[in-house]
Amino acid sequence: MADVVRDPARPVAEQSTAELVQRAAEQVSRLVRDELALARIELAEKGRHAGIGVGLFGGGGVLALYGLGVLVAAGVLALALVIPAWAAALVVAVLLFAVAGILALVGRQRVRRAAPPMPKATADSLRADVRTVTSAVRDRGQG
């Protein structure tokens, strides 16, 4: 289609159909680019939150593994020597499990905050755009 000469000062009611179609195509193209940029930003933010949550959850798992090792060592010391040395190992194991539990809970909370990966702001914005375009087309058809 040949480019149509447009005068932005002219009211929409006086513009030709070709001008309006060209203008609508430009606006839809700009709208799609803007919505894709918004979706990209929102997904990157959710991915960052999920990554932090997974890292904290993994850190909790590693500390739980160390806690299990210390607990096993405490059991061995308790059976082998039957002296207070095992009590110290048991206290360390309990502390490690407490820290592991806290990290796991914080990590799980971060992962839940990032889910679902659907870009909510973009979806809401797209719905509003569709309503606006539908309303404008309906109003134009009645006028």
Report yes or no on 131 lying in a domain.
Answer: yes
Report yes or no on 10 lying in a domain.
Answer: no
Q: Which two tokens stand for residue 33?
A: 């680019």
Is-contact 56 101, C-beta < 8 A? no
Report yes or no on 83 lying in a domain.
Answer: yes
Greatest mean pLDDT range, 21-25, 90-94, 99-103: 99-103
Report yes or no on 3 lying in a domain.
Answer: no
Under the banding of pLDDT at 50, 70 and 90, the label for residue 27 is: confident
Number of domains in the chain: 1
Per-residue model confidence (pLDDT) at position 62 = 92
Report yes or no on 22 lying in a domain.
Answer: no
Report yes or no on 98 lying in a domain.
Answer: yes
CB-CB neighbours of 118 under 10 Å: 11
CA distance 13 to 22: 15
- Residue 109, pLDDT > 80, answer yes
Range of the domain at 89: 41-135
Per-residue model confidence (pLDDT) at position 106 = 92
Is-contact 57 107, C-beta < 8 A? yes
**What digits encode the pLDDT tens for the residues 29-78?**
898 888 888 888 888 888 888 888 888 889 999 999 889 888 778 766 76
Which DSSP category does 83 fall into? Answer: S
- Residue 2, pLDDT > 60, answer no
Under the banding of pLDDT at 50, 70 and 90, the label for residue 79 is: low
CB-CB neighbours of 105 under 10 Å: 13
CA distance 65 to 91: 16
Q: Which two tokens stand for residue 92?
A: 């360390």
Sign of CA dihedral 91, 93, 99, 105: negative
